[in-house]
Amino acid sequence: MSSMSARTFTLWRCNCGLHAFNRAAEQGIPISYQEIERLNAWIERARPAFEIDGRTRFRVNVHRGNGQRIRVIYDTALATVVTVMAKTSYSPERENAHG
């Protein structure tokens, strides 16, 4: 990322935020762009707890105040949420239904 200009870096971050916002809307997750930015700040503060050398993307489970659980993909190189998805509980029946 060091060869990326500041403008390109900012555009990438904005596009990732927009993608996350759109993915959340597609899945019926009520989230604002401001909440995505708050998630970015919260995850960035917690980053030393989960960061592993050589990896840039991590799945982070988030329990929202309204009782909803979501999973976000966070990119440490861009320091931003890349996508948002509904967190579903694990079901062995669902896992085995496909063979």
pLDDT tens across 6-16, in order? 888 889 888 98
The region of weakest confidence among 34-43, 44-53, 60-69, 73-82 is: 60-69
Structural domain including 72 reads 6-89
The answer as to whether 96 is a domain residue is: no
Q: What is the pLDDT of residues 57-82, one digit of tens each?
A: 999 998 887 778 899 999 998 889 99
Task: Report the alpha-carbon distance of residue 15 to residue 27 in Å, rounded.
Answer: 18
97 domain residue, yes or no:
no
CB-count burial class (<10 Å; 0-12, 13-18, 19+) for 74: buried
Number of structural domains found in the chain: 1
The answer to the question of residue 29 being in a domain is yes
Tell me whether residue 94 is in a domain: no
Q: Cα(70)–Cα(46) distance, rounded to whole angstroms?
A: 17
Asked if residue 43 has pLDDT above 90, the reply is: yes
